[in-house]
A and B are shown apart, each in its own frame.
Chain A
Amino acid sequence: MSIVPKETIEVIAQSIGIPNLSPDVALALAPDVEYRLREITQEAIKCMRHSKRTVLTADDVDSALNLRNIEPIYGFASSDPLKFKRAIGHKDLFYLDDREVDFKEVIDAPLPKAPLDTAVVTHWLAIEGVQPAIPENPPIEAIVAPPDGKKMDHGKDDSLPIDLKLPIKHVLSRELQMYFDKIGELILGRADTPLFKDALLSLAKDSGLHPLVPYFSYFIADEVSRNLNNLPILFALMRVVKSLLSNPHIHIEPYLHQMMPSIITCLVAKRVGHQISDNHWAIRDFASKIVASICRRYGHVYHNLQSRLTKTLIHAFLDPSKALTQHYGAIQGLSALGPSVVRLLILPNLETYMQLLDPEMQLDKQKNELKRKEAWRVYGSLLLAGGSCLYDRLRLFPGLLSPPDILPWKTNKKIALTNLPNNKRKASSRLTAHQPPTKKLAVDPTGTNSQFPSTDGPVTSSSSGSNPNHHHSHNSSNNNSSSTGNITNANANINNVSGSGAHGQRVAVSNVLRQAWKEDLDAGHLLSSLHGLFGEGIFSFIQPAEMHCFI
């Protein structure tokens, strides 16, 4: 009858020292207990309202008890709402999670930080009825992005994207319009001025920009497709994207779908900028970082974001008809997503891909200097991806290198060491072979730099130094002891990449790589197979401590 069951009364009676309360008494008391409870609750709610709160606290109940001249219940003082837990197996039974506290623990614990003192700050909630867009005010939610279709239609017949807002019921303040115009002007015209840096900072920090996001996203998409040949503009646009993404006051998720295509374009486009003179590799690297950061931040919100992205990239990577530049972008994008993605998607395909790539890298197979350069670039990025993946494995499980593998590697190392002078000579000869045409091709000095970018250390070293090791590794698997034969056979061996002698090992290598995605993969096996493909270059990714195992 009453919501307080008589059992509760009995339990309470027991707890205050009345062991055998007759059931009749309990039954008679129950309704009154409920009534009193309601009474106290009603008073407590009054106290809560007068404290200008909407959540009832223990203090309110105490005040209500005070009002009725009842002693308050001690031990529940807390200014925060109490946290109740549901008893397992009961639908409507809750209890306070009241941990037992060890006195010693409390005494020994460092003093908690003193609570901050109350302070008053002022801001303008509205100026003549209009809310200024400052961090103190909530972001303006009322503005709804116009539907895409409408936007596209209008964009076609109107070259200026700023005019888009005309048909849309979306009031953009004059200041914002001017801001947008200025930013657009900077991107297209003066991206190298210090002013542009300030603009990027403003884009990354200002809180009132949310209404402009749809315009920016459209602007970026539009300009990227239009200026694929103009590297500085593309760079400027990507930096704007990065700034917008880092702005904590902007709610950018609804516009991601519009921005992603342009970023991916910058990443895997066949031609970005002038192939020869511009450092289009840098923008691919930059775009890959942006893509990775987007995936990290919004991956949990859009579950298919990363899967769709990787699908696009892996398509670009595995399609042999695509240009090497595209492959490079895809590899960079995938490796930026983290070592697990590399393990899952790149390593299983590594071997087949290397077969494809190898001829491109050889002086005698690929006569086009530019193509060869590109191939080396791709090779470098693959090495970086594989290496960082390996590094990650070793960092996580340092003890994973299995002893049996050490022995052969030791011998290998020796050979490598003995080979060193040769390698150097070879490398230098290769360099000298490269240099003159490069200079010829690159008219401006920046172009030469970009051919051999000093910025990415591993890539440079791998492209110049690891190639001889590469020959050598196959060689050594065939012919463990002879170093002289190695030198003489070097070129021949490379041509025999799929030769019968190497075949046995090859199967093993591909097997290992195919298993690469498995968590419990032996890092040693992974290392050996990667070494099989990349040679010594892979060692630069292993920490010195682990290196000791090999020497």
Chain B
Amino acid sequence: MLAVPGIDLLFSSVPQSAEFRLVPVWLLTLANSSGTITLRCKDLKVLQLEIPGMEECLNIASSIEALSSVDSVMMMYPFFYRPQSLKLEEGWHLFPLQQYFQQIASQVSLEGRDPAMLRSSQPLTGPNRKRCREDEMLLGTVLEEGERGFIIDTRSAQAAKQARMTGGGTEPKSSYPQWRRLHRGRPLQESFIKLVDACNDTAINMDRWLNRLESCRWLSHVKAALSTACLAAQCMDREEANVLVHGAEGTDTTLLVTALAQGLLEREWIKAGHPFHLRCARSAYSHARLKQEAPLFLLFLDCVWQLSRQFPFSLEFGERLLLTLFDDAYASAYGTFLCNNEKERCLCKVKENTHSLWAWLNQPGERKKYLNPLYLPNALVIWPSVEPQSIQLWQGLFFRWIRSSQYLDEAWAEIQRLVEGNEPPVKDSAGNRLSQSLSDPTAQPENGR
């Protein structure tokens, strides 16, 4: 039985047990070849459907093609998805911006000036080195007399220079004397596509695999993103300086860095206007190389995953949440990632007509699945290692459909069982010791006799 009732494709097999399996599929591209449709999904799954009858097959293929290329936002699935357990309007106000800023403001006034992180887009200096008094004043107020600030430009020095030709540019030192500028250097979508391609090649020999892993440069991007974020955090933490982060538009790498450095999802990515609709349009299997497409959000999630590997106790959530966010950024039943910014969401009346992903995740039954049982609350800053040897390929994402994770899943379930079966007082005392040891900068004795 194959039904194509709308946006979702439902198909089921009728095995002996007469159990129906509904698999919601987000469609991307397909290739016809005499009765077989190959569906390459945005979540990197690849499905092959054998349709008896050439005409049937072609009809289904064209329906799927049409439905998956829906352009209008308001025809998208979230506008129709109505799960029974949720009410519309729920979950949209979970992270009110005003509340957040109020919190920060009170902290600042009570505890003195904490270093702040700011983000923006590039200054429109242009080839004639224009100045803007208001901008200089604004940045000036952030700093006190004699304080230093760092501007982290997420573009390479060369790219930033070139930007001047098209009206953009960088902050000239003379106009912004208290700020020191640091550059970071990069085409992410190509990288993503190449990586997924390499992962799918299961016959590949070792040398070729390593070669492709290297040439796709995905891990280099992860390292660069992590380093930049850590650099920003280091500026703030060690030097107690304020940091301004910007790229070109202020909506891509900028967000990546600020979000990583602070670990804030909704505020940094969604409210600040990462253009999800453009960036997460087609994912890795698309033949259409959309100019605006870039898996920055995935890069962010990958970096978070790297952190969770290096600091398994420090994140409240587990890998499952990261995978869910990846899936939902590209194709979702929820409205959270729709459109490109707040303005568009208002126009499309997203909050009124779709459900929020957060509402779903926040339900007690669901929430539990995404939590990290090893989480031990710890207020200290975590400093990851960005050596290549410490950065791993996110197997849980890139090999999700390519090889079975059964043994790893079972092992993880065992870890959960062991940890959850433990008495809370024991976990706390272990956690306190751990927190203490993390704050202790002295290294342990090496290689005793």
A complexed with B = no
Interfacial residues, chain A to chain B (CB-CB below 8 A): none
Interfacial residues, chain B to chain A (CB-CB below 8 A): none
